[in-house]
Amino acid sequence: MNALFAGLDRLITGLLGLSLLALVGIGGAQIVLRVALSYPLPWATEFSVVLMIWATMLAGYVGVRRNSHLSADFLGLSMSAGVRRGLRLFSLALSLAFVLTYGWQSRLVIDAMEGIPFTSLPLTQPLLYWSLPVGAALMALALADQLWRERRAAPEA
């Protein structure tokens, strides 16, 4: 299982790096071409939005895997180790339920966008919205792994 996650982590971070490099390149080209040659790239804005949304959803997976999300544990400081562990398990289960729900419900958005083209890209809108269930599935996988490892870990003394 660790090898699977190690490979998936490398793949996702690689895709993130490529998409962010592409965003910088497209943005820079858009500025140079518009200012120097008075030739804006008509597709640059829409393509950048698609890349940014996909990068955001993929970054959600990376954040869950690295456990680098924002959290505040003011109440937990005064609780016993067992209660804190229970709260961690509950919050992981709640987060997992949330991403599974929004991932499943995002199919309605994808269906609603079917056949609607982008203005300047030869693609349809579902390409953008497929980032939702893909990102949710990746985050659900990462959350399920965290929940599994936390559940199996020995309780703190």
| pLDDT tens figures, 3-51 | 889 999 999 999 999 999 999 999 999 999 999 999 989 999 999 999 9
Q: What are phi and psi of 120, to 5 degrees?
A: -120, 0
Going from the C-alpha of 71 to that of each of 67, 75, 88, 149, the distances in angstroms are: 10, 12, 11, 19
> What total number of domains does the chain contain?
1
Residue 157 lies in a domain: no
* 18 lies in some domain: yes
Name the residue range of residue 136's domain: 2-68+77-152
Average pLDDT, the chain: 91
For the segment 83-102, the average pLDDT, to the nearest whole number, is 92
Is 92 within a domain? Answer: yes
